[in-house]
């Protein structure tokens, strides 16, 4: 099959719950990995665990090392978990130049929005068919975003509020994870969740590594802001120069408590601080950024107090 035909087949995505299939490595995802500012040791730990999955699991018996081929990223919304997981998929594949990796992105909501009683079937089909087929064809990484939707903590579900269906879906995920871990050593799940307390503990226990992606600290806030302004500086040089403003540090300090997404959105808020600035974004000032950072934080606090 020529390349075009292969790609067309990949784009055709009939498997329910598989949102997208990508070939790896993919430099676009590499840029994501670089854009997420995080403790370098944590990034290294993630990459090492992911690489080990592919070097070790096919060679060492699971009775010796009971690895499941799953990594879980937990942390508040907007801290870069999904971007990191996609970037990690790229970096992992790039470490094995000779192999042909694929990334399957799963959309859990597509499975649970099935008609009542069908979720368990949809989960089983996804894992036992779509994922198993991909893993049989070559090294495969599966992104399970918002995994609490699929592997909900059964101990916290009340039967009235949460249908039996969800219990069965969680059971099915666990059964399938065990089966796939036995049969496919060249498979790695990258799961993310905003609500670690909502993820079933039997799922978490199966993860080979659980990483907490926290809100950025003071230094990271500064680096995210700098990265964002420098990126804008490529189009609007005056914006890039704000990084060397005497008030830059104060502005970075104002971002403390915000997640990375909120910091980048705050910059957009500053660019929209007046119709004039919106029309000519290079007019944005460091004071506009300070005001936007304070307003974003105040907005967050009000949001926290809302019932």
Ligand X SMILES: Nc1ncnc2c1ncn2[C@@H]1O[C@H](COP(=O)(O)OP(=O)(O)OP(=O)(O)O)[C@@H](O)[C@H]1O
Distance CA 6, CA 132 (A): 19
**38: partner contacted, choices Mg ion, ligand X, none (Cβ within 5-8 A by kind):** ligand X
- The tokens describing 291, both together, are 């005001």
**194: partner contacted, choices Mg ion, ligand X, none (Cβ within 5-8 A by kind):** ligand X
- The tokens describing 67, both together, are 């690895």
Q: Which is nearer to ligand X, 84 or 172 (CB)?
A: 84
> Is the separation of the CB atoms in 19 and 106 below 8 Å?
yes
Using CA atoms of 107, 112, 118, 120 in order, give the dihedral in degrees to the nearest 10.
80
Q: Which stretch binds Mg ion (CB under 5 A): 76-84, 179-187, 218-226, 231-239?
A: 76-84
Min dist. Cβ of residue 160 to Mg ion (A)? 29
Q: Which stretch binds Mg ion (CB under 5 A): 74-82, 106-114, 183-191, 212-220?
A: 74-82
Q: Which stretch binds ligand X (CB under 6 A): 2-10, 19-27, 46-54, 75-83?
A: 75-83
Residues 6+ apart with CB under 8 A from 15: 125, 126, 129, 130
Min dist. Cβ of residue 176 to ligand X (A)? 23
Min dist. Cβ of residue 145 to Mg ion (A)? 6
Of residues 49, 53, 79, 296, which one binds ligand X by CB under 6 A?
Answer: 79
Distance CA 32, CA 155 (A): 36
Distance CA 136, CA 94 (A): 20
> Can residue 82 be called a binding residue for Mg ion (CB under 5 A)?
yes
Q: 159: burial class by Cβ within 10 Å (0-12, 13-18, 19+)?
A: exposed
- Binding residues for ligand X, per CB under 6 A? 35-38, 77-83, 192, 194, 216, 224, 259-261, 264
- Binding residues for Mg ion, per CB under 5 A? 82
């Amino acid at each position: 099959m020529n390349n075009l035909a292969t790609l067309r087949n990949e784009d055709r995505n009939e498997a329910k719950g598989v949102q997208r299939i990508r070939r790896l490595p993919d430099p676009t995802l590499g840029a994501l990995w670089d854009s997420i500012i995080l403790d370098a040791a944590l990034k290294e730990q993630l990459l090492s665990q992911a690489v080990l999955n592919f070097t070790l699991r096919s060679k060492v018996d699971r009775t010796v090392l009971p690895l499941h081929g799953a990594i879980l990223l937990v942390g508040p919304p907007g801290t870069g978990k999904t971007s990191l997981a996609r970037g990690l998929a790229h970096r992992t594949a790039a470490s094995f130049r000779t192999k042909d990796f694929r990334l399957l992105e799963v959309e859990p909501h597509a499975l649970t929005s099935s008609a009542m009683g069908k979720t368990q079937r949809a989960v089983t089909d996804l894992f036992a068919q779509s994922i198993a087929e991909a893993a049989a064809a070559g090294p495969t990484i599966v992104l399970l975003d918002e995994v609490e939707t699929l592997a909900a903590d059964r101990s916290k579900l009340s039967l009235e509020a949460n249908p039996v269906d969800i219990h069965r879906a969680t059971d099915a995920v666990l059964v399938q994870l065990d089966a796939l871990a036995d049969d496919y050593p060249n498979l790695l799940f990258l799961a993310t969740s905003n609500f670690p307390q909502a993820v079933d503990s039997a799922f978490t226990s199966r993860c080979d590594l659980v990483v907490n992606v926290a809100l950025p600290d003071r230094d990271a806030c500064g680096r995210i802001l700098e990265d964002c302004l420098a990126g804008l500086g490529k189009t609007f040089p005056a914006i890039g120069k704000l990084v060397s403003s005497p008030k830059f540090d104060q502005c970075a300090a104002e971002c403390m408590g915000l997640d990375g997404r909120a910091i980048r959105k705050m910059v957009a808020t500053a660019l929209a601080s007046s119709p004039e600035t919106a029309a000519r974004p290079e007019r944005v000032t460091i004071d506009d950024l300070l005001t936007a950072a304070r307003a974003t934080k105040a907005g967050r606090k009000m949001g926290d107090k809302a019932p």
